[in-house]
């Protein structure tokens, strides 16, 4: 399916917005806001669910008025057996899908009634995001019209970007939780993405391993490392990690 030039512009806008955002707590709100506009939706949510105990939460949503409805969203979907949860697999790639295709009687289902009531949406598209074992992550978009083949193709193209964003946010949160406060960490002018790459470098990961962890190419990793070297005034991995530890950028 041929995408339009504007689709690629939206992909680039989303990538730039995420990389420039230093607040991991707002990353998914930022992303769902971009997706809301890109797909002309009434609602966009990002949720993470542990199927073993039915726990989880919505980590991002748009528009803001959905705040009144997302508090127990994951628990409701688990209790109702939402079809998207059974379509998603933690360690397996699944393409974006119109949720109505997963449910024979979508318009007569409890999920449809809830989507209409809370989100003003008659149709939903799910974008599964593979992650760590046992955790189901999904972006769900809702609106009054079904999603077209071109829009499904567009969602398929941005799916790896969303996976990479999720990895980036989780790694950055982990690094910040075990190190110094963010103002100290960013004192060298490192971007959130560069901090994430630097943290993984300090763990001893190779370029290829960092690329796999963040779902980006080795070339992109090397580009980030070149910027880290320049900002820290170093020229190799050993001196970079040593300086980063001495100055408290990484634990």
Structure tokens at 184: 């100290």
Q: What's the burial of 100, exposed, middle or buried (CB within 10 Å: 0-12/13-18/19+)? A: buried
Give tens-digit pLDDT for 37-82. Answer: 989 999 999 999 887 887 888 989 999 889 888 888 888 888 888 8
Would strands 135-143 and 97-98 be described as parallel, antiparallel, or unpaired? Answer: unpaired
pLDDT of residue 22: 61
pLDDT of residue 176: 67
Count CB neighbours of 134 within 10 A. Answer: 12
pLDDT of residue 39: 93
- DSSP secondary structure string for all residues of the chain: -PPPHHHHHHHHHHHHHHHH---GGGHHHHHHHHHHHHHT-SEEEEEEEETTTTEEEEEEEESGGGGGT-TTHHHHHHHHT-HHHHH-BTTB----EEGGGG-TTGGGSHHHHHIIIII--SEEEEEEE--STTEEEEEEEEESSPPPHHHHHHHHHHHHHHHHHHHHHHHHHHHHHTSS-HHHHGGG---HHHHHHHHHHHTT--HHHHHHHHT--HHHHHHHHHHHHHHHT--SHHHHHHHHHHTTS--
Q: Do 218 and 167 touch, CB atoms closer than 8 A?
A: no
Segments of the chain with pLDDT less than 50: 180-187
Count CB neighbours of 69 within 10 A. Answer: 17
CA distance 126 to 35: 12
pLDDT of residue 184: 42
Would strands 55-62 and 43-50 be described as parallel, antiparallel, or unpaired? Answer: antiparallel
CA distance 86 to 82: 7
Mean pLDDT of the chain: 84
Chain centroid offset of residue 105 CA: 30
pLDDT of residue 19: 66
């Amino acid at each position: 399916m041929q995408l339009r030039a504007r689709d690629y512009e939206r992909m680039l806008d989303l990538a730039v917005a995420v990389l420039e955002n230093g607040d991991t707590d707002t990353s998914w709100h930022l992303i769902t806001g971009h997706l809301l506009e890109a797909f002309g939706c009434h609602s966009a949510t990002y949720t993470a669910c542990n199927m073993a105990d039915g726990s989880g939460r919505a980590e991002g949503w748009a528009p803001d008025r959905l705040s009144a409805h997302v508090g127990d969203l994951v628990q409701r979907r688990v209790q109702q057996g939402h079809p998207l949860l059974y379509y998603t697999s933690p360690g397996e790639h699944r393409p974006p899908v119109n949720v109505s295709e997963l449910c024979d009687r979508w318009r007569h289902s409890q999920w449809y009634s809830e989507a209409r009531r809370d989100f003003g949406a008659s149709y939903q598209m799910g974008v599964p995001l593979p992650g760590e074992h046992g955790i189901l992550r999904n972006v769900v978009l809702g609106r009054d019209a079904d999603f077209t083949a071109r829009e499904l193709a567009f969602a398929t193209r941005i799916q790896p970007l969303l996976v990479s964003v999720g990895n980036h946010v989780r790694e950055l949160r982990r690094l910040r939780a075990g190190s110094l406060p963010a103002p100290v960490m960013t004192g060298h002018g490192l971007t959130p993405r560069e901090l994430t790459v630097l943290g993984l470098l300090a763990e001893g990961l190779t370029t290829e391993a960092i690329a796999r962890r963040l779902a980006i190419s080795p070339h992109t990793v090397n580009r980030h490392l070149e910027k880290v070297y320049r900002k820290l005034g170093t020229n190799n991995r050993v001196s970079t990690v040593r300086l980063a530890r001495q100055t408290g950028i990484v634990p």
